[in-house]
Structures are given as structure tokens and as C-alpha cells.
Structure 1
Amino acid sequence: MPDLDMIISPALAARHAFFGRAGGASSGVYAGLNCGRGSGDQASAVTVNRARVAEAMAVPGLAGVHQVHSADVVTLTGLPETAPRADAMVTATPGLALSILTADCQPVLFADAEAAVIGAAHAGWRGALAGILENTIEAMEALGADRSRILAVIGPTISQAAYEVGPEFLDEIRADDEEALRFFANGEGDRMLFDLPGYGLWRLRRAGVSAEWTGHCTYADAGRFYSYRRATHEGAPDYGRLISAIRL
């Protein structure tokens, strides 16, 4: 199997990886390890890529959700026949790999090693604002986890320097909590720069869990990561999706 780019955090005491785009079978704008079935990539290439990720995680298949930028979490005990519409999953089932797709949004992996409970969340700004991170923690607690023991790691995501937003965006975040204004910096004109991973870390830590970011920006490193915003700025017809996975 080709060498895959696997970013691993020593903080998570569960088998996991945030995968870069290296080592995949896709070509063109998807070149590399595109794992998004919803992309316009060849289905056969995506199938090969996902199989390589499953092999790296030592599982027969990957559990996932049909991501819709919601605050909905599902509890899984096995591979679902059809991906449920949600943006996070939790499980206490050994050998079940939870996977999340991203291309600038935050992939967040969670683990309570003592309780043997894990979670995985897709947290763009809208999902984070709606409470997807806090809901994932609560779903883990329902399986026996304790938030004081939960560790959460945010993987490659768009950094503040590359995330320009408008005043309506700022107003929506501010309406939820004035303290979140700290995650905005001045841009050009009426534009602002939003610190998505900083916002995610703040919400996670405020919820009582230990959290960190791997420090990788999807927009800034085209050779290593896919980025929806970079593809848009370049006028590309589509973009690949990165995958992150965790298992007990």
C-alpha cells in the first residue's frame, strides 16, 4: 500500500489519524487520497482510497455520516447500512472506526481512554455555533464517558489568516456570545478574519474537556491538504475531501 500521510496526536489514547492527501489513487483536482463520495471524482478511485484508510486503521470498513452542518450526533454500535444525516458519531464498540470528511471545516476526534468511549465530529462554523461539539461530549457521557477525562483534538482546518468573512457572519457569532468576538481580526474594508480552530478550542474547553489543535492549515498547504476555499479562489471545478478516523 502507498505511504499515507497520517497526522497522529499523542494526546489521544485511541488509534486514530488525520489523513493528508498523499498516497491516494485519485487524479486531477482530486489528486491523492480523496475520500469524498459526494465529490465528482471517479467512484472507483474513492473506493480504493477509503479501502486504504480502512487498512491503515485495521478495520474492514469505515463508519460515517451524511454531513449537513447540523448539531446532530448519532450513537453507533456497528457499520450503518446507510449513513445517517448527522455531523458527529460516538461509540463504545471496539473495532468500529468513526470517520469524518472535511476540506477546511474542523475534524474533531474525541476519546475517554478510561471509559473506552470515542467520538468524531465535523465542525464548521455553523455546526460549532449550533453546538455539535458540546452535543458530542454529551453523547459520549451517555455511554459512560466523563468530560473531565475526555481529550479532543482538532485536525487540519482553515486558519484565521485564510478565513475571510463578512459582517453578517460576525453578527451571527456575536449574537450567540459576545465573548466570541475575540476570534475575529480586522481584514480589508468591512471584511474580518475568523479563527475557526480557536473558536472550536474555546467551545471545547468551556465545555470542560481538554483540547488541542494540530496546527495544520488546510488552505495554506495545497500539496498536503484539500481546501474548499482555496479551490473556490482558484476557480477549480471541485475539490477533494480529507478524512479523519478514530477507533478503539
Structure 2
Amino acid sequence: MAADRIIFPDWPAPANVVALATTRNGLAGFAGASVEPYSRFNLGDHVDDLPASVSKNRDALLSACDGLNAIAWLQQVHGTEVHLVSAERGEVAVADASISHIQGLASVVLTADCLPVLFCKIDGSAVAAAHAGWRGLLAGVLANTVKAFNCPPQELMAWCGPAISQAHFEVGPEVYRAFVDGFAGVPKEQIDAAFSPSINKQGHFYADLNALAKAQLHNLGVAWIGGGDLCTYADAERFYSFRRDGQTGRQVSLIYRR
């Protein structure tokens, strides 16, 4: 799969762990069923795209992944709930992260600027995906995901997928103050380093989601942390971006045990 279509993390995950991030360009032999403003490979079923198009795209993704039997889709609400994926398929869970111990059953999150973070145990026995916009990140979705593994953080690794970069993510002073006052486990100097003053609006900042996430994960003790070099806003050829386009599709970051 070409990098303009599917992105694979450059990380030292065990051989039985498969992780990837999609782009709007679809798969080899299937560019996607969605049309503007969702073209081409939209995987979000909550953005007013045609349900039949989303279903075709999701089916194509499932078929393209070796050893993947099912994808545990979530209803994301910018919260901190971590869903334990099970083989029993019921209603779509309301959560912003999921963890899977089951071979062939994927954890997945949808994004279009928010930060997706994929996790796995170093021994390959469990995987997770988390959706971290600034609200969920601040409230503890990544910390909760680490805790959900029920093992020392030193047994985990994490990869930060495509998200809006600091240069394009302008926020108000209330966001900076919220992180200073309530971002668990991260000292103020590290928070300050992730906010640079806006050149457009006095008192506003450019926020670095990747830096904030990595600082928290590092302080939690996660053994390996990487990624974070792909900007959804700047790369319109590959990625959906809500802040850039408003009405748009969603890409996914997905991980499973083979």
C-alpha cells in the first residue's frame, strides 16, 4: 500500500501487531466511494455522507487488512471513556478510546484534526486506539487508555497519527489556562513549551497537541513514543481537516493483533 493511500507507523511494534492510518485517497484498486465534499475514502458515518458510500469504504478497508475479522467502531464524544472490545457485537460503544486483546478485532478512531494515538504492549498481547482532541486530551483520555492496559506503562509503546499541527491550531487563552490548571502529570514548563503566542490575535496561542500528548505519555512512563509529524490541515491531498474545510470526511487510525 502506497504512503499516499495508507500510512504505517515507523515504530518497533511486535510482528503480530498491525497498525495503520488511512488517507482520503483510498486503497490500491479502490480510491473510495465518497464524492465531494467527502471525496474519496471517507470512513465517518456521522458527517452526512451517503451511508452506502461509507459502508463501501469500510468494507473495503476490512477486506484489505490481512488477518482482520472485524473493526470495533466507536461513537466518539470528545470524552475519556475507554471501551474494552469484545467478540460479542452489540451497539456501537460511546467512547473515545478502545482496547483489544482479541486477535483479528481492531481498535479504531476517526479523526479530521484531532490527535489519534495508537498503543500496543511490547509483547503484542494487547492494542488500543485513542481519540485526543484538546478537550479529551486535557480530561485524561490518554491517561485512561494507558491505565486500561492494567500493566506497568513501561510495557507500552505509543504512536501519534495524523493531526493538526501547531502552526495551524490557534486557540484562545482559556485553552492555555485550562491546561495549566488541569493537565494531569505535566509540569507547567512543558505545557508552556507547547503553546506559542499567536501573531494574529492578542492573547491567543498556537497549541501543539502532539507535544502535549507526548509530554503526558512520557511522564506516565510509556516506554516508546513516536509519530506526530503528519499535519491534517497542511496536507489537503491526503487528509481531511475539519478546521480547514468544515464539512468534510474522516480518516481512521486502526490497530489490531494478527
> What TM-score, normalized to structure 2?
0.88
Displacement of 1:56 in angstroms is 2.2
Aligned equivalents of 2:207, 2:228: Cα separation in 1: 18
Partner of 1:149: 155
Aligned equivalents of 1:176, 1:100: Cα separation in 2: 25
Which amino acid letter does the alignment assign opposite residue 218 of structure 2?
R
Displacement of 1:4 in angstroms is 7.4
Q: Which among 165, 175, 178 is matched to residue 181 of structure 2?
A: 175
Q: Which runs of 5+ in 2 are unaligned?
A: 27-31
> What TM-score, normalized to structure 1?
0.91
- RMSD between aligned residues: 1.8
Distance 1:30 1:2, change over 3 A: farther
Which amino acid letter does the alignment assign opposite residue 62 of structure 2?
A
- The reply on whether 1:158 has 2:182 as its aligned counterpart is no
Partner of 1:235: none
- Residue by residue over 1:126-145, the C-alpha shift from the partner in whole angstroms, topping out at 9 and shown as x without a partner, is 1111111111111112xxx4
Displacement of 1:190 in angstroms is 2.4
Correspondence 1:225-236 to 2 at 5 A: 225-232=239-246
Q: 4+ residue runs of structure 1 moved beyond 4 angstroms?
A: 1-4
Partner of 1:138: 147
Partner of 2:50: 42
Partner of 2:128: 119
Contact 1:160-1:196 at 8 Å conserved across structures: yes
Contact 1:160-1:193 at 8 Å conserved across structures: yes
Q: Which runs of 5+ in 1 are unaligned?
A: 233-237
Partner of 1:200: 213
Partner of 1:6: 6
Contact 1:64-1:99 at 8 Å conserved across structures: yes
Displacement of 1:115 in angstroms is 5.1
Contact 1:34-1:241 at 8 Å conserved across structures: yes
Distance 1:186 1:214, change over 3 A: closer
SS at match of 2:83: strand
SS at match of 1:203: helix
Aligned equivalents of 1:90, 1:147: Cα separation in 2: 15
Aligned equivalents of 1:51, 1:3: Cα separation in 2: 20
Displacement of 1:113 in angstroms is 3.5
Displacement of 1:96 in angstroms is 0.6
Aligned equivalents of 2:86, 2:73: Cα separation in 1: 12
Which amino acid letter does the alignment assign opposite residue 36 of structure 2?
G
Deviation larger for 51-60 or 82-91 = 51-60
Contact 1:112-1:150 at 8 Å conserved across structures: yes
Q: Tell me how many residue pairs correspond in the alignment.
A: 240
Distance 1:160 1:4, change over 3 A: closer
Deviation larger for 196-205 or 58-67 = 58-67
- Residue by residue over 1:62-114, the C-alpha shift from the partner in whole angstroms, topping out at 9 and shown as x without a partner, is 11211111111111122532111111111111111111100000111101141
